[in-house]
Amino acid sequence: MKKILLLLFISCQLSSLFAAPPDRAEELREEMWNSGDKNFAIKDIPQNWAGKSAVIIAQMNRFEYRKVLMAKLLKENNYAHYRIRLNDKNAVDKYSEMSFDVSSLGYNVFVGYKVIKPNGKETIVDISKAVKMERTVNGRKQAYNKIAIPGLEPGDILDYYLCTEETQDILSYILFFQPVIYSIPDQYPIMNYKIQFRASRKCYINIKSVNGAPEFKLITDEKNDEEYYSIEGSNMESVEDQRWIYKYRELPTIKFRAAYSVNEGMAEHFDVLLGEVKKAKTSVSKQELTDLTQRMSSGSGGYYDLDQLKKYDKASLKDVTDPFQVATKAYYYLRNELYFKYAEPKVWEGNEDGTIRESRFLPVFHQFLKKKKIEHDVIVGASREISRIDDIIMENELDWLIRVKKGKDYLYLSPFDAYTLPGTFSESLEGTEAYAFNGLESSSKWIGEKITLPVLTSTDHQAKVNVQVQITDMSKAKLTVKKDLMGRNKLFDQYSFIDYYDYEKEENAKFTNEPIKRKKQELALKKAYMDQRDTRKTDALKRSIEEDYEFKIENPGNIVIEQTGRYDDAPAMKYGYTFETDALMKKTGPHYLMDAGKLIEAQVKIDGEELARKTNVYFSNARSFVNTIAIDIPQGYTVEGVDKLTTKVQHKSGGFTSTAKVQGGKVLIETNKYYSVNYVPKDQWKNVVEFLNAAYNFSEMKLLFKKK
């Protein structure tokens, strides 16, 4: 869950606070345990779930957002009630020790636990037995409670509730409550569930069910004279943790958010997909996305940045006519201006990462391109792992980009960090539908055009790894590794092995950056960092190699960064290093076996349980790993087994191929493991398994060196 718009803020101050009425605990206990809800009276579980660790018999979650009468206060209340049958010791262990928040002024916590034995005997846990874990940090108290649930045994039902009621001052015209995105399936199957959403009449409500989750219904609560939204469902199978799944895209999911406005008129100034007061907003129209994008791209936060960019334009771009070149140079200029100039001190504190927010990036770039009359689109989309664009309901599900047009070609621009390039954008938007708005048109006339953002190929996100292997004393292998990394495949290595001082020179060669006079303390931090820099890099390298290869190594070093991959004219990150290992050579009788397959790094293991996949497969992106390996055949030895190193498994979703030959006293191996797509339907999972297994089996292959 990412950002909230810059213009808006969530108020979290708790300056004027009320305590809960003394009988509130009793009221809630009565409501939770004596509501008459028949699902919370069930004692038996279906036979087909008897083998599960636990079964959620009933689950209720209620989210309330209310205005306190006659006071400038809002209440955000969360109520959760679970009735769980614990079938095995694992579940008993898990629920034997529970924790919950401690009440404080303006924040009241109510809990109740009862254990129900198979014979129906109910025992309510004495909450006063809870212990408080308390700590004072810089004068502020922090605490939580822990309680041990007594008498719990396999076969028991634990029926418990955890309710929090928080009061906060109304300090702004509008207050946005924490958005919720929630996948309903749990690690345990659910017999019955109910999720309610109750908001004050002055609240804006955004609410949506996706991926087969039941639709919210508007319910009239005559007793309390109010309406609320509710979904109810039953018989939800459990889900296991598994690789390559986007649960908000695959599993029944609900999402909602409430916002409270003091004054409807004022709310318009903060309109971020708010809809109408009292009426639940269940979809977002193209026009609303248009309006929001218009506001985002006309933000006023970047006047200074724009001013700087205009100066740069005047000084350096007046002779540049190609729109892509203008955009590219402007992009690098802003990256230098907004990121590079502030990066050095962050490095000393170990805090180099971070992206300039799109609320700062978008208006500056859009205004600049517009002023230059360069054709471009402002694009609004949604991350693949969160939502389809047509299913979004809240602004924090959205991402914005710019694309510059040149004929039929586009140059995409996204908010930058130290390494982002013009022409690239987050892999999480690849292949997603989005809306594009013509940047040269007056935004009041914008009409969104639905587009599909391009999907990059496995070669766009490629890792080429060249490994030269020399064997010494027939026991140790020295590996000289050169990597040439593109797209998403270079990010980890850039963040791991490149720092500010690796790109300082190239950045200063492109831009006139005045040396910054550092204070004494800053110079000390820099010295400390520089003193430890080599050691840190070598340590990071060792960790990375051992993680990649999964065997022990020695003497990692000689890291040489040939190319940082920070500019589009040299987009690959290129670097090299060396290390040694005695994990590959094995003396077998008079001969030597070499674990040559392990030179392509450790491969994915697919467990038996994973073979029968019930969900579609979501890769972060298409990608490929091309290995070129040259093993020097030791003097006086011949090699056998080279013919076994040829493999070919190719599918639409990806593949693994390998070839090997002996040439010039070396064994030359070439492999290519590639994921062609970023999504595979579950019925094609077997093809994925096939090429993953081919790669795994290759990694187990051996060469035999025989004395001549």
Partner 1 sequence: MKYSFLFFLAILCSITVTAQKNTNVEKAKLFKTYPQNKKAKVVASTYTSGYTFSVSGEKVNVVNEEKHDLIALEGNYDHVEHVYYNDHIKIEDFSAKHTTTGKTIRPQTACGNYEVGDIFYSDSKVCSYLMNFLYEGSEITLNSKVKYDDPKYLTYLFFHDSRPIENREITVEVPANINIELVEKNFEGFDITKNKTTLGTKTVYTFKAKRLEAQKNEDNSLGALYYYPHIIVLTKEFTTSSGKKNVLSSVNDLYDWYSNLVKQVSNDPAVLKQEVERLTANAKTSEEKMRAIYYWIQDNIKYIAFEDGIAGFRPETAQAVYQNRYGDCKGMANLTKEMLKLAGFDARLTWIGTNRIPYTYDIPSLSVDNHMICTVFINDKFYILDSTEKYIALGKNAERIQGKEMLIEDGPKFIRKFVPVADEKANSIDRSETLVLENETLKGEGELVMNGEAKKSVLYFSTNVRNEDQKKLFSTLAVSDYSNTDKVEVTQAPAIDRENPLNVKYKFVLGNKVSKFNNDIYIDIDWAKMYQNHKMEDDRVTDFYFNRKVKTKTIKKFKVPPGYKVSHVPKNMSKVYDDFAFNVTFKQVGNEVHYQNEIVVKGGIVKKKRFSVWNECIKELKEIYNDQIVITKAK
* 8 Å CB contact between 488 and 427: yes
In terms of CB distance, is 319 or 531 closer to partner 1? 531
Region from 174-182, 221-229, 243-251, 640-648 binding partner 1, contact rule CB under 8 A = 640-648
Burial class (CB in 10 A: 0-12, 13-18, 19+), 126: exposed
* 8 Å CB contact between 481 and 465: yes
* 8 Å CB contact between 665 and 633: yes
Write down the least CB distance from residue 481 to partner 1, Å: 24
Which H or E run contains 331? helix 323-334
98-127: which residues touch partner 1 (CB under 8 A)? 98-99
Q: How many CB atoms lie within 10 A of CB 166?
A: 17
Q: What angle do CA 222, 207, 426 make, to 5 degrees?
A: 170
Q: What mask of x and - would describe binding to partner 1 in positions 475 to 514, judged by CB under 8 A? A: ----------------------------------------
Q: Is 302 helix (H, G, I), strand (E, B) or coil?
A: coil
* 8 Å CB contact between 467 and 576: no
In terms of CB distance, is 188 or 340 closer to partner 1? 188
Region from 137-145, 272-280, 351-359, 360-368 binding partner 1, contact rule CB under 8 A = 137-145
Region from 37-45, 150-158, 199-207, 329-337 binding partner 1, contact rule CB under 8 A = 150-158
Write down the least CB distance from residue 165 to partner 1, Å: 19
Region from 31-39, 86-94, 175-183, 296-304 binding partner 1, contact rule CB under 8 A = 86-94
Of the candidates 242, 185, 254, the one whose C-alpha atom is nearest the C-alpha of residue 615 is: 242
In terms of CB distance, is 608 or 681 closer to partner 1? 608
Write down the least CB distance from residue 641 to partner 1, Å: 5
Region from 9-17, 352-360, 501-509, 698-706 binding partner 1, contact rule CB under 8 A = 698-706
Asked if residue 53 binds partner 1 (CB under 8 A), the reply is yes
* 8 Å CB contact between 669 and 646: no
In terms of CB distance, is 481 or 694 closer to partner 1? 694
Of the candidates 445, 290, 441, 513, the one whose C-alpha atom is nearest the C-alpha of residue 380 is: 290
Q: Is 192 helix (H, G, I), strand (E, B) or coil?
A: strand
Write down the least CB distance from residue 692 to partner 1, Å: 7
Any residues with CB less than 8 A from the CB of 506 and at least 6 apart, and which?
564, 566, 567
Asked if residue 13 binds partner 1 (CB under 8 A), the reply is no
Q: From CA 505, how far away is CA 638, in angstroms rounded?
A: 48
Candidate residues 182, 348, 511, 679; the one interacting with partner 1 per rule CB under 8 A: 348
Write down the least CB distance from residue 521 to partner 1, Å: 6
What is the maximal distance between C-alpha atoms in the chain? Answer: 96
Write down the least CB distance from residue 195 to partner 1, Å: 21
Candidate residues 587, 648, 652, 661; the one interacting with partner 1 per rule CB under 8 A: 587
Region from 31-39, 48-56, 257-265, 422-430 binding partner 1, contact rule CB under 8 A = 48-56
Candidate residues 93, 276, 449, 550; the one interacting with partner 1 per rule CB under 8 A: 93
Question: What letter would DSSP give residue 21?
Answer: P
* 8 Å CB contact between 563 and 573: yes
Write down the least CB distance from residue 53 to partner 1, Å: 4
In terms of CB distance, is 510 or 605 closer to partner 1? 605
Phi, psi of 288 (to 5 degrees): -65, -40
Q: How far is CA 9 from CA 3, 300, 344, 415, in A?
A: 10, 16, 29, 21
In terms of CB distance, is 86 or 398 closer to partner 1? 86
Asked if residue 131 binds partner 1 (CB under 8 A), the reply is yes
The sign of the dihedral angle between the CA atoms of 246, 247, 252, 255 is negative
Write down the least CB distance from residue 593 to partner 1, Å: 7
Q: Is 687 helix (H, G, I), strand (E, B) or coil?
A: helix
350-379: which residues touch partner 1 (CB under 8 A)? none
Region from 87-95, 254-262, 365-373, 539-547 binding partner 1, contact rule CB under 8 A = 87-95
Per-residue tokens: 567: 């500019």
Of the candidates 398, 323, 432, the one whose C-alpha atom is nearest the C-alpha of residue 368 is: 323
> Assign residue 225 a region: left if phi > 0, alpha if psi is -120 to 50, beta otherwise?
left
Asked if residue 692 binds partner 1 (CB under 8 A), the reply is yes
Asked if residue 521 binds partner 1 (CB under 8 A), the reply is yes
Candidate residues 301, 431, 576, 641; the one interacting with partner 1 per rule CB under 8 A: 641
Of the candidates 374, 461, 457, 385, the one whose C-alpha atom is nearest the C-alpha of residue 421 is: 461
Please work out the total of residues on this chain that contact partner 1, with binding judged by CB under 8 A. Answer: 66
Asked if residue 152 binds partner 1 (CB under 8 A), the reply is yes
Write down the least CB distance from residue 207 to partner 1, Å: 29
Q: Please report where in the chains the tokens 């409501």 appear, as a residue.
A: 31
In terms of CB distance, is 262 or 606 closer to partner 1? 606
Asked if residue 92 binds partner 1 (CB under 8 A), the reply is yes
Full strand arrangement of the beta sheet holding 376-382: 409-413, 398-406, 376-382, 433-438, 449-452
Candidate residues 38, 505, 519, 520; the one interacting with partner 1 per rule CB under 8 A: 520
Region from 26-34, 147-155, 449-457, 654-662 binding partner 1, contact rule CB under 8 A = 147-155
Of the candidates 267, 333, 266, the one whose C-alpha atom is nearest the C-alpha of residue 306 is: 333
Any residues with CB less than 8 A from the CB of 254 and at least 6 apart, and which?
180, 181, 182, 184, 195, 207, 208, 209, 210, 213, 216, 231
Asked if residue 311 binds partner 1 (CB under 8 A), the reply is no
Q: How many CB atoms lie within 10 A of CB 107?
A: 18
Write down the least CB distance from residue 659 to partner 1, Å: 18
Candidate residues 41, 71, 447, 528; the one interacting with partner 1 per rule CB under 8 A: 528
Which H or E run contains 521? helix 520-549
Region from 104-112, 377-385, 465-473, 697-705 binding partner 1, contact rule CB under 8 A = 697-705
Asked if residue 529 binds partner 1 (CB under 8 A), the reply is yes
Give me the half-sphere count of Cα atoms (radius 13 Å) on the Cβ side of residue 162.
12
Of the candidates 618, 255, 182, 151, the one whose C-alpha atom is nearest the C-alpha of residue 431 is: 618
Write down the least CB distance from residue 61 to partner 1, Å: 17
Region from 285-293, 411-419, 600-608, 658-666 binding partner 1, contact rule CB under 8 A = 600-608
In terms of CB distance, is 90 or 263 closer to partner 1? 90
238-267: which residues touch partner 1 (CB under 8 A)? 240
Candidate residues 19, 524, 560, 570; the one interacting with partner 1 per rule CB under 8 A: 524
Asked if residue 474 binds partner 1 (CB under 8 A), the reply is no
Q: What is the DSSP string of 533-553?
A: HHHHHHHHHHHHHHHHH-S--
Q: What mask of x and - would describe binding to partner 1 in positions 530 to 559, judged by CB under 8 A? A: -xx---------------------------
Write down the least CB distance from residue 144 to partner 1, Å: 4
Interface residues toward partner 1, by CB under 8 A: 51-53, 87-99, 131-138, 142, 144, 146, 148, 150-153, 240, 348, 520-521, 524-525, 527-529, 531-532, 586-590, 593, 605-609, 640-641, 644, 689, 692-693, 696-697, 700-702, 704
